[in-house]
Amino acid sequence: MIILASDHAGFILKEEIKKFFNKENIIAIDVGCYSREQLDDYPDFAKSANQKVIEDDRNVGIYICGTGIGMSIVANRNPKIRAALCMNEQFASLARRHNDANVLCLPGRFINKRKAIKIVKVFLTTDFEGGRHARRIKKY
Ligand code: RB5
């Protein structure tokens, strides 16, 4: 299952990603926010999305705020979450292959929808390589 979260600054990009998922028949749960008007707080959404992501090892999250930084800081406070802030497809690929990231954080104010969808596609279709990277992950 894919869990989506954003604050007001990530809302528009999240809506674009939802449109893409609808077109592709990909099911996702949106834990909020539900409007760009209210100046809400990204930790609230990162925390509730984390609770859903950790329910199942196969779950992944996509969290969006203005920079993606706040979301990634909050997400990574949960020891079961490995959240990666990705600005491009290469980062998304490495976040999966080397870090087994289970949460993708995106900067809603700094990338457009085409770029975001490319990043999301890479993140969702790239496998963890294991091996030495698994050894490293076990150390944190
Ligand atoms: C909200 O203005 C902004 O601070 C937030 O979206 C995020 O970028 C924080 O890291």
Q: How far is the CA of 25 from the centre of ligand 1 (A)?
A: 30
Cα 75 from Cα 12, distance rounded (Å):
20
* CB-CB contact of 65 with 88 (8 Å): no
**pLDDT recorded at residue 102:** 98
The verdict on pTM exceeding 0.95 is yes
Cα separation, 138 vs 72, in Å, equals 20
Spans of all domains in the chain = 2-138
Ligand 1, from 8, 36, 64, 65: best to mutate by most atoms within 8 Å of Cβ?
65
Atom of ligand 1 nearest to the CA of 109: 8
Instruction: Write down the CATH superfamily of domain 2-138.
Output: Sugar-phosphate isomerase, RpiB/LacA/LacB (3.40.1400.10)
Give the model confidence (pLDDT) of 39-80 as tens digits. 999 999 999 999 999 999 999 999 999 999 999 999 999 999
User: What's the pLDDT at 76?
Assistant: 98
pLDDT at 90: 98
Query: What is the reported pLDDT for 35?
Result: 93
Alpha carbons 129 and 49: distance in angstroms, whole number: 25
The stretches in the chain having pLDDT less than 50 are none
- Cα 121 to Cα 71: distance, rounded to the nearest angstrom: 20
pLDDT given at position 55: 98
Mean pLDDT of the chain: 98
Three-state DSSP class for residue 82? coil
Specify whether 133 is catalytic. Answer: no
Count the Cβ atoms, other than its own, within 10 Å of residue 132. 9
Cα–Cα dist 10/109, whole Å:
7
In angstroms, rounded to a whole number, what is the distance separating the alpha carbons of residues 106 and 64? 5
Give dist(CA 94, CA 128) in Å, integer.
Answer: 9
